[in-house]
Amino acid sequence: MANVHSPRPETLSSPPFIVRRRREIRAALLATVAALALACMNDGGFSQARADALHSQVSPVVSPVSFADVVDHVRGAVVSVKVKTTETADSGDELEIPHIAPGDPLERFFKHFGEEGTPHDHHLKPHLTQAQGSGFIISADGYVVTNHHVVENATEVSVTLDDGKTVPVTIVGTDKKTDLALLKIKQGGPYQYVEFSTTTPRVGDWVIAVGNPFGLGGTVTAGIVSARGRDIGAGPYDDFLQIDAPVNRGNSGGPTFNTQGQVVGINTAIFSPSGGSVGIGFAVPAETVKTVIAALQDKGVVARGWIGVQIQPVTAEIADSLGLKSNKGALVAEAQPNSPASAAGIKSGDVILGIDGGRIDGPRDLARRVAALGPGKKANLIYWHDGSEKTAPVKLGSLPDDKEARANPGMSQDNNAFSGLGLTLAPASSVEGAGSHGVVVSDIDSDGMAAQKGLQIGDVILEAGGHAVNQPADVSAALAEAKKANRKAVLLRVKGAEGTHFVAIEVKPAS
């Protein structure tokens, strides 16, 4: 059996050590006294006013001694969500059994294990699976908020209250785009509930996460808000709070509280290589949750506004090529036919700068604002067209299924002039399947600048510098025009496998 040793006491109590420490302490005290004496000589002594001034320069940081009172106040409203689903194994996941000839020794082996020797005789049976997450009660009559992915495909859902009692619930509605769901406890209340915060937490504020990690039951962790407005690629309306309060598996759907016991977010995702907390968790902010849950409680679904544009961010190069002073806004790669945006006169290459009187930061900001306005709402679009700012009225439609205003994947803009991109162009009409308009990328250097920008063989350049192109010479002419106008970049409109988007090509301005 291994022995556990403490530090040897003689090491710390030997005479040389004591003498050495006394000399160090004495020297430090003398230096301090000398400094104070010198300060008194220079200033004629420390005045009370000087002491108060020094004190006022430092603002003490007050942290809570304990979160126990807050936890006692809220924990009765936090529940464990238990879900049952029925799954049928995919035949592709099953062992493929080869055909066994009659009389083969392997035939008896497979029959021994209940198989008939061919995969056609193997029947796939549905099996019951269980999952669990967290949630919280928001009303005395038993409405419960959790994540969409916690109850997705559920055949039966129940919640376990803080006192250990398990009660059945019904799913009122879910919203996949924000990963939120609303449940209703079937048994009558009243139930303890919590309220949403009316203020947005600041970066650095204390937060408390309560949930059911790893099925352990009500567990409390604490941390701070690390960042706001995080986009993690989960959906078109990403606007997450980033928190460092440990959030683990099973915490999904659980609440994040401020120190007043109000819900500031709902735990939804973590960043972790191992599946456990590494101090990077993400919560849907309370203002988003309140809006979505109110819609689910009212109609069971969330109806969002839609204008029908495919949009992407405005980079510095794109802004320069269009004559914009700022890279804020959303570049329209394509306005869908018969959409509200198309009816309002919005065209490819325009930049939407604002809606309904407010300016936007980028594509996701536009998507959130349009969605929040709702179908049928009339608003004014502020947009940039042909070098000037314009305004157009638009009547929002209803967001179709699986369609959304979203940004295309970002592409690197750090490239040299077009001549150094390492690609070969050909008229689209000369390449089978490329269409009759534009210039197709017929070959590309995988290590060249064009490849770094995301251009691929088969991409079709439809416009360069706002002009339609059908020959490689048209692209060269657009580059020459940009140089003459002292533009830093020329804008290419490109049709690829994932849709239409814009790429800004840097050019060397004329000297």
Dihedral (CA of 411, 406, 282, 248) sign:
negative
Q: Residue type at 486?
A: N
Distances (CA, A) of 131 to 187, 246, 273, 415: 22, 20, 21, 48
| pLDDT score, position 411 | 32
Asked, colleague to colleague, whether 305-398 and 418-506 share their fold, the answer is: yes
The CA distance from 212 to 111, in Å, is 45
| Other Cβ atoms within 10 Å of 90 Cβ, number | 8
The CA distance from 321 to 330, in Å, is 15
Rg value, the chain, Cα: 32
| pLDDT score, position 206 | 93
Contact by Cβ (8 Å): 297, 263 = no
Q: Residue type at 29?
A: L
CATH 2.30.42.10 for domain 418-506: yes
| pLDDT score, position 352 | 95
B/e letters for 148-162, b = 16+ CB within 10 Å, e = fewer, are: bbbbeebeebbbbbb
Q: Residue type at 260?
A: Q
**Phi and psi dihedrals of 449, rounded to 5?**
-65, -35
Residue with token string 């699976």? 129
Q: Residue type at 353?
A: L
The continuous run of DSSP H or E covering 46 comes out as none
The CA distance from 158 to 83, in Å, is 7
Q: Which long-range contacts (CB under 8 A, 24 or more apart) does 418-421 make?
A: 418/475, 418/476, 418/479, 418/490, 418/505, 418/507, 420/448, 420/449, 421/448, 421/449, 421/450, 421/453, 421/455, 421/505
Closest of 275, 322, 313, 268 to residue 135, by C-alpha: 268
CATH 2.30.42.10 for domain 305-398: yes
| pLDDT score, position 7 | 30
Q: Class of the 206-299 domain? A: mainly beta
Contacts of residue 55, Cβ cutoff 8 Å, sequence gap at least 6 = none
| pLDDT score, position 359 | 92
Catalytic positions are: 149, 179, 252
Which residue ranges make up each domain of the chain? Answer: 206-299, 305-398, 418-506
Query: What is the DSSP annotation of 150-167?
Result: HHTT-SEEEEE-TTS-EE
Per-residue pLDDT of the chain (511 residues; tens, 9 = 90+): 343 333 333 333 444 444 455 566 566 666 655 555 555 555 544 455 544 544 445 455 555 668 999 999 999 999 999 998 876 555 444 444 555 566 665 555 555 555 444 444 445 556 677 788 899 999 999 999 999 999 988 889 999 998 889 999 999 999 988 899 999 999 887 999 999 999 999 999 999 998 877 667 778 888 999 988 887 666 667 788 899 888 877 788 999 999 999 999 999 887 766 666 677 888 999 999 998 999 999 888 888 888 988 888 898 888 888 889 899 999 998 888 889 999 999 998 999 999 988 899 888 889 888 988 888 899 999 999 988 999 999 999 887 654 433 333 333 333 233 446 667 787 877 666 667 788 888 777 666 666 676 777 788 888 888 888 888 878 878 877 877 777 777 788 888 877 788 887 776 544 4
| pLDDT score, position 53 | 47
Cα distance between the two ends of the chain: 81
> Beta strand 255-257 with 206-211: parallel, antiparallel or unpaired?
antiparallel
The CA distance from 453 to 460, in Å, is 14
**Phi and psi dihedrals of 29, rounded to 5?**
-65, -40
Contact by Cβ (8 Å): 116, 69 = no
Contact by Cβ (8 Å): 117, 110 = yes
Q: Residue type at 226?
A: S
